[in-house]
Amino acid sequence: EPEVTQTPSHQVTQMGQEVILRCVPISNHLYFYWYRQILGQKVEFLVSFYNNEISEKSEIFDDQFSVERPDGSNFTLKIRSTKLEDSAMYFCASRWSLETQYFGPGTRLLVL
């Protein structure tokens, strides 16, 4: 069964460093999302991407964040200058229609 994949599974970085989180969505899906989940808290929407552009973004998704679909398969989330509070699990998700979402396994980001 097709699945969303994410790399790396874990990332440790120093505060102020840039990180790039990578996702390969399911191949025929049209909508792509990034979410984050701080430990013990709810899944929070960051950004959605459709037709090669951002369609929605939350208040969390400030100028430190950016997303790209550099080729036909990868979907990346970049955090330019990480802060301690960016430590969280980051999930990529994709969907074919505006209904069922398929989540990746997540990247656990730890900012020291």
Interface with another protein (CB under 8 A):
4, 33, 41-45, 48, 55-56, 58, 89, 91, 93, 98-106, 108
Q: For residues 16 and 50, which CB has a smaller minimum distance to another protein in the complex?
A: 50
Q: For residues 17 and 41, which CB has a smaller minimum distance to another protein in the complex?
A: 41
Q: For residues 3 and 18, which CB has a smaller minimum distance to another protein in the complex?
A: 3
43-80 burial, b for 16+ CB within 10 Å, e for fewer?
ebbbbbbeeeeeeebeebbeeebebeeeeeeebebebe
Task: Report in angstroms how near the CB of residue 16 gets to another protein at its nearest.
Answer: 27
Q: Which among 9, 21, 8 has a CA at the least distance from the CA of 67?
A: 21
